[in-house]
Amino acid sequence: MSSPAASTALLRRQLKEMQGDKDLSNISVGLIDDNIYEWEVMLMISDDCKFYGGGFFRARLSFPKDYPLMPPKMQFETPIWHPNIYPDGNVCISILHPPEEDKYGYESVQERWLPIHTPESILISVISMLSSPNDESPANVNAARQWREDPTGFKKQVRKCVRDSLEMC
């Protein structure tokens, strides 16, 4: 079982590692109100990303006291149109789902949260998700429908999100 002291120490180490990693130049992380359990994240999406390239998207990672046994929650604060992001900004990706059997039978336990995941692996997975939406299990049904049925309209909506993200920086 993970204690709050152990999770605090782990999060401090992971934050320091991410802030010092030159290979993560497209990800910026910091604390919100000096709270190790609340991280502000800025994802600067490279131009080679199929849809969101050039965007600067602010998000929040909220870690539970029993991290790393349970996953954090991630919520975009910058509005973003994506099949796997709820309209309120909450991210729906398998690795952020609790490590238990999926009551709908869609995901295996191995696809869900495992304590080996780190904030870095989460953010890299989310960036990957932006390029490759999963429209079979959407968080935003309207975005998923548009992704499937109107790719041109979807791309136009996403480009608007990118422009808006730049204005919000």
Of 49, 92, 161, 169, the active-site residue reads 92
Rounded to the nearest angstrom, the gap between the alpha carbon of residue 20 and the centroid of all alpha carbons in its chain is 20
Q: Could you tell me if 40 and 32 are in contact, meaning their C-beta atoms sit under 8 angstroms apart? A: yes
Q: What is the CA radius of gyration of the chain?
A: 16
Q: Could you tell me if 14 and 39 are in contact, meaning their C-beta atoms sit under 8 angstroms apart? A: no
Give the DSSP letter string of 3-21.
-HHHHHHHHHHHHHHHHH-
- 92 labelled catalytic: yes
What is the CB neighbour count within 10 angstroms for residue 20? 8
The helix/strand/coil state of 148 is: helix
Would you name the residues annotated as active-site residues?
92
